Amino acid sequence: MTGAADTLERSLTNSMIVAAYREKTPTSERLAAEAHELFPSGLTHDSRHLTPYGIYVERAEGSHKWDVDGNDYVDYFGGHGALILGHGHPDIRAAAHGALDDGTHFGSGHEMEIRWAKLITRLLPSAEKVRFTASGTEATHMALRIARAFTGRPRILRFLGHFHGWHDHMASGVHSHFDGSPTPGVLDDVAGAVTLCPPGNIDAVKNAFQTHNDIAAVILEPIGSQTGQVPHPPGFLTELREVTRAYGALLIFDEVVTGFRVSRGGAQAHYGVMPDLTTLAKIVSGGVPGGAVAGREDLLELLDFGAAVRNGRAKIGHQGTYNANPLTAAAGVAALTIIAETDACERASRSAASLRSSLNAVIEEASVPWAAYGEFSMFHIFTNPKGRAIKAGEFDPLDHDFEELALKPKETIHKLRLALLINGVDVTGWPGGTVSVAHGEADMSHTAEAFARALHLLRQDGEL
Ligand SMILES: Cc1ncc(COP(=O)(O)O)c(C=O)c1O
């Protein structure tokens, strides 16, 4: 066990919150013990890490999920952001069932992939052509490859804290290795071909372009790092567009979370800033595994057999057994049809705004120096690691730098999550979550009450 994990384990040993959690979730505890025998840390995704163990879920519907002990939770994990329409939307369910009946893999083209790509090019303003992948990680990997092949330059500029999946070029500077050094298993040369800039700092970007004449692309989460926890100052995207154009580098928006959430046309439509390439996953595939790269035709042409012959150059190779598989395509078409034809994005955003203000009312009532903040259909809890005097309802994340917003007191957050689980609410480890159209008034008031009780428990446990 590492030092930090050891401290966390010890701080939780005598906790009343942990004792109550164990009492409520005995079957999850048993399954977690079994999982430990099979998976590193008993986990299949780092973001699901929770000490002493996470819940095991049996079933989900709408805004709720039920664990193996029969406990009911209002869910803000939202399938890691994939489920803006909630769990098990009837249209997506019907489409997926139909696809299962017709066959899940044809090893050939099918009409649904065309319908799917047409919806993407209709909704996403900068999408002229599309290539499907099996995940968001694969999509960002491909986007970098296209950028390098197009520009003939090796270097990628990223921002500290921005998450783009787990492949080698994206590993440093997200949760650790903020100096750009390689994380375990990554080659020095790969990490060395990435320049990391402080988020939202256009001068740092300009300096990087002046220092390095080999930058192929800038990639970022367009609403700020990790689903908007560290937002950009106004105008940043426009300036970034101008700088990248001036230096002949591509601008890649990673809209894996923001695509079809921030607005029907993603962050690019909302801000009116057009990237050269966009990476997509999550909502695009209706909550089943999938992803895509979309963008300028002359860039996607680098994957084209005919264009390679015409231009006398090698094409970018791209396989992928599950690219545009019929099941994913059917779910994606169903999800994007609802996004296109209803006000789902606006409704989810309105519900999240109301949730953020209820949480802030609870925080102020409890006199805790925290704040709930965020934009669109997201919420984040600022846990004030530097103990500043803040007023929850007036909190502005732009007054705080990356380090302060990203710094999280691990013990307190684990306990907050456990205290919320005891009270029937599941939030992510940011801490925060995404809100769907399925979250209604009753969910919001239940969440606010659960949050008030959780703060009380944290106080009793000596955390506040
Ligand atoms: C902004 C962003 N990019 C890329 C990814 C990676 O997507 P996937 O988990 O489908 O590989 C994620 C996943 O959370 C993400 O949030």
- Which of 48, 138, 162, 163 for a ligand 1 pocket mutation test, highest count of atoms within 8 Å of Cβ? 163
**pLDDT value at residue 3:** 54
pLDDT digits (tens, 9 = 90+) for 274-319: 999 999 999 999 999 999 999 999 999 999 999 999 999 999 999 9
Beta bridge partners of 428: 432
Helix (H, G, I), strand (E, B) or coil at 158: strand
Q: What sections of 44-187 are H helices per DSSP?
A: 78-81, 90-102, 111-123, 136-151
Q: How many CB atoms lie within 10 A of CB 297?
A: 11
**pLDDT value at residue 408:** 84
* Crossing angle of helices 441-460 and 16-24, rounded to 10°: 130
* Nearest CA, atom 9, ligand 1: 136
**pLDDT value at residue 226:** 87
Q: Please tell me whether the peptide bond between 52 and the residue prior to it is cis, using omega within 30 degrees of 0.
A: yes
- Which of 261, 282, 323, 434 for a ligand 1 pocket mutation test, highest count of atoms within 8 Å of Cβ? 282
**pLDDT value at residue 115:** 98
The 3-state secondary structure of 184-205, one letter per residue: CCCCHHHHHCEEEECCCCHHHH
CA of 463 to the centre of ligand 1 (A): 32
**pLDDT value at residue 132:** 98
CA of 164 to the centre of ligand 1 (A): 5
The Cα 183–Cα 225 span in angstroms is 19
**pLDDT value at residue 1:** 43
Sign of CA dihedral 424, 425, 428, 434: positive
* Nearest CA, atom 4, ligand 1: 164
Please give the residue that has the higher pLDDT: either 6 or 334.
Answer: 334
Q: With cut-offs at 50, 70 and 90, classify the pLDDT of residue 11.
A: low
CA of 45 to the centre of ligand 1 (A): 12
**pLDDT value at residue 410:** 87
Beta bridge partners of 53: none
Instruction: Provide the mean pLDDT of the chain.
Output: 96
Type and span of the H or E element at 422: helix 410-422
Q: Which residues of 214-247 are buried (b: 16+ CB within 10 A; e: fewer)?
A: ebbbbbbbbbbbbbbbbbbeeebbebbbebbeeb
- Check whether 329 has a pLDDT greater than 90: yes
Residues with CB under 6 A from ligand 1: 80, 135-137, 140, 163-165, 221, 254, 256-257, 281, 291
Beta bridge partners of 373: 380
Look up residue 244 and give its two tokens.
Answer: 């990248």
- Check whether 30 has a pLDDT greater than 80: yes
Contact predicate 390/372, CB 8 Å:
no
Look up residue 316 and give its two tokens.
Answer: 């970018």
Beta strand spans in 187-256 (E): 194-197, 215-220, 250-254
The Cα 383–Cα 355 span in angstroms is 17
Mean pLDDT score, 140-162: 98
Amino acid letter, residue 399: D
- What does the DSSP 8-state code read for residue 308? H
CA of 464 to the centre of ligand 1 (A): 33
CA of 338 to the centre of ligand 1 (A): 22
Contact predicate 293/280, CB 8 Å:
yes
Look up residue 330 and give its two tokens.
Answer: 């059917």
The Cα 462–Cα 15 span in angstroms is 9
CA of 272 to the centre of ligand 1 (A): 23
CA of 461 to the centre of ligand 1 (A): 35
Q: Which residues of 189-213 are buried (b: 16+ CB within 10 A; e: fewer)?
A: eebebbbbbbbbbbebbeebbeebe
CA of 262 to the centre of ligand 1 (A): 16
CA 429 to each of CA 30, 156, 414, 432, 460: distance values in angstroms, whole numbers, following the listed order? 22, 28, 8, 7, 21
CA of 292 to the centre of ligand 1 (A): 11
CA of 136 to the centre of ligand 1 (A): 5
pLDDT above 70 covers a percentage of the chain that reads: 98
Phi and psi angles of residue 17, each rounded to the nearest 5 degrees, phi first: -65, -45
Rg (CA), the chain: 22
* Nearest CA, atom 5, ligand 1: 165
- Check whether 7 has a pLDDT greater than 90: no
- Which of 84, 169, 257, 376 for a ligand 1 pocket mutation test, highest count of atoms within 8 Å of Cβ? 257
The 3-state secondary structure of 339-368, one letter per residue: HHHCCHHHHHHHHHHHHHHHHHHHHHHCCC
Question: Which of ligand 1's atoms lies nearest the C-alpha of 281?
Answer: 10
Domains of the chain: 3-87+344-460 (3.90.1150.10), 90-341 (3.40.640.10)
Question: Which of ligand 1's atoms lies nearest the C-alpha of 258?
Answer: 1
- Check whether 166 has a pLDDT greater than 70: yes
Closest to 327 (Cα-Cα) out of 110, 87, 104, 117: 104
